Amino acid sequence: MASMLAARLIKAGEPLRVEQVPVPDVGAQELLVKVSACGLCGTDLHLAVDGDLPVMRTPITLGHEAAGLIAAIGSDVAGLRKGDRVALFPSACCGACRFCLAGRESLCEVSQVYGMARDGALAEYVAVPARSVMVLPDGVPFDVGAIVTDGVATPFHALRSRGRLRAGETVGVFGCGGLGTHAVMLARMMGAAQIIAVDVNAAARDRAVSVGADLSLDPAEGDVAKHIRRHLGGRGLDLALEFIGRADTVELAIRSLDKAGRAVIAGVGTGRPSLPPLMAFVGREQAVLGSFGMDRSDITDLYDLIAAGRLDLSASVSARYPLKRANDALQHLAAKDGGVVRVVVEPGG
- Which residues share a beta bridge with 311? none
Instruction: State pLDDT tens for residues 133-148.
Output: 999 999 999 999 999 9
Task: Give dist(CA 234, CA 225) in Å, integer.
Answer: 10
pLDDT over threshold 90, residue 62: yes
Instruction: State pLDDT tens for residues 111-121.
Output: 999 988 899 99
Q: In the prediction, which pLDDT does 337 show?
A: 63
Task: Give dist(CA 192, CA 60) in Å, integer.
Answer: 41
Q: Give the chain's domains with CATH numbers.
A: 3-151+294-346 (3.90.180.10), 164-290 (3.40.50.720)
Instruction: State pLDDT tens for residues 31-50.
Output: 999 999 999 988 777 776 66
Instruction: State pLDDT tens for residues 185-215.
Output: 999 999 999 999 999 999 999 999 999 999 9
Whole-number Cα distances in Å, 196 to 107, 109, 273: 30, 35, 22
Task: Answer yes or no: are the C-beta atoms of 261 and 239 closer than 8 Å.
Answer: yes
Q: Which DSSP helix (H) or strand (E) runs through 171?
A: strand 170-174
pLDDT over threshold 80, residue 278: yes
Which residues are tagged catalytic? 43, 46
Q: In the prediction, which pLDDT does 79 show?
A: 92
- Which residues share a beta bridge with 257? 237
Task: Answer yes or no: are the C-beta atoms of 31 and 81 closer than 8 Å.
Answer: no
Instruction: State pLDDT tens for residues 243-262.
Output: 999 999 999 999 999 999 99
Q: In the prediction, which pLDDT does 349 show?
A: 67
Q: Name the residue with higher pLDDT: 281 or 156.
A: 156
What helix, strand, coil percent values describe the chain, rounded to 5? 30, 30, 40
Q: In the prediction, which pLDDT does 322 show?
A: 97
Instruction: State pLDDT tens for residues 330-347.
Output: 999 888 765 788 999 999
pLDDT over threshold 70, residue 53: no
Q: Name the residue with higher pLDDT: 51 or 17.
A: 17
Concatenating the DSSP letter of every residue in 220-283 gives: GGS-HHHHHHHHTTT--EEEEEE-S--HHHHHHHHHTEEEEEEEEE----S----PPPHHHHHH
Q: In the prediction, which pLDDT does 52 show?
A: 62
Q: In the prediction, which pLDDT does 338 show?
A: 56
**Percentage with pLDDT > 90 across the chain:** 81
Q: In the prediction, which pLDDT does 51 show?
A: 62
